Chains A and B, each alone.
Chain A
Amino acid sequence: MVEALTIVLAAGLTRGWRSALIGVAAATVTLAVVVAALGPALTLVPLNALRLVVGALLLVFGLQWLRKAILRSSGFKALHDEDEIYARQLREAETAPRDERARIDWYGFTLSFKGVFLEGLEVAFIVLTFGSTQGSIPLAAGGAAAAIVLVTAVGVLVRAPLARVPENTMKFAVGIMLTTFGIFWSTEGAGGHWPGGDAAILGVLAFVVLWSAALVAMLRRRRERPAIA
């Protein structure tokens, strides 16, 4: 969402707010339609099958996030620099030719739409998977909406990219949560029973956190080794 805000700010300031905000609205409506269409369909799937499929998807998706967050934390991958991304987006948006139809600058519209839709798709995916397995998509959607309102409000107040947000720490946390729930639900969906029932999720969480921290430490050591030698 922080990345989407950066893109929308760049589009709004260089191409005009009208086109950028129409792009945001169109992407938000599209995402809402995706959630509204898939949500009820998912509730019809038997719970164990749902947990297996959703858990597996969450796990694969979460491992992607975790892998990138570990690579960033250990210095093997550059941290996202929102200021740099913002400056690049501004440069590109300023030099792009103007294509205005129906009082909409299509470059600004497309830039905003793509930014919000692609970033929002990750949120929609999390809302659908968490909501469907816990039997409350509206509650999950409400949580996501609250986060969107918060990021938008901060963006409007400071009118700058949220460069100071500890983005990798947040992504690390999301990767850990997705991986934890992915392990928990897909195991249950595959027929495994956790000792201690739902409380086992805390054990899985601790395991994922400790293993991730160990991997960060190992990679940091490996990265520092050539410099010492």
Chain B
Amino acid sequence: MKHVVAFGRFWWDFIIGDDWLAAAGVAVALAATALVATWWILPPAVAIVLAVSLRRATAHS
């Protein structure tokens, strides 16, 4: 069981990294893109996700 958890944690760190909220934001934006079937949702959503992620990373600096 310990190895399964370690394996899962490795892939979580590898793909998601230290800001799960950014991955969640991308998932929500992609779901919205699939609903409306259009191109203009993802670029601004990614811009916002990146800015928020950086703000969170530098909040205590």
Q: Is the CB of B51 within 8 A of A215?
A: yes
**How many of B's residues come within 8 Å of A, CB to CB?**
29
Known: A76-B57, A76-B58, A191-B37. Is A64-B46 also a contact (CB below 8 A)? no
Q: Is the CB of B26 within 8 A of A71?
A: no
User: Is A192 positioned at the interface, with any CB of B under 8 Å from its CB?
Assistant: yes
Contacts of A66 in B (CB 8 A): 50
Binds B, one of A95-103, A136-144, A182-190: A182-190
Interface footprint category on A: 35 or more
Chain A 99-142 interface mask (CB, 8 Å, partner B; 1/0): 00000000000000000000001000100000000000000000
Q: Is the interface of A mostly helix, strand, loop or mixed?
A: helix
Contacts of A208 in B (CB 8 A): 46
Q: Kindly state the separation between the CA atoms of A56 and B45 in the bound complex, as whole angstroms.
A: 13
Binding site for A on B (CB under 8 A): 14-17, 19, 22-23, 26-27, 30, 33-34, 36-39, 41-43, 46-47, 49-51, 53-54, 57-58, 61
Binding site for B on A (CB under 8 A): 52, 56-57, 59-61, 63-64, 66-67, 70-71, 76, 121, 125, 179, 183, 186-187, 190-195, 200, 204, 207-208, 211-212, 215, 219, 222-223
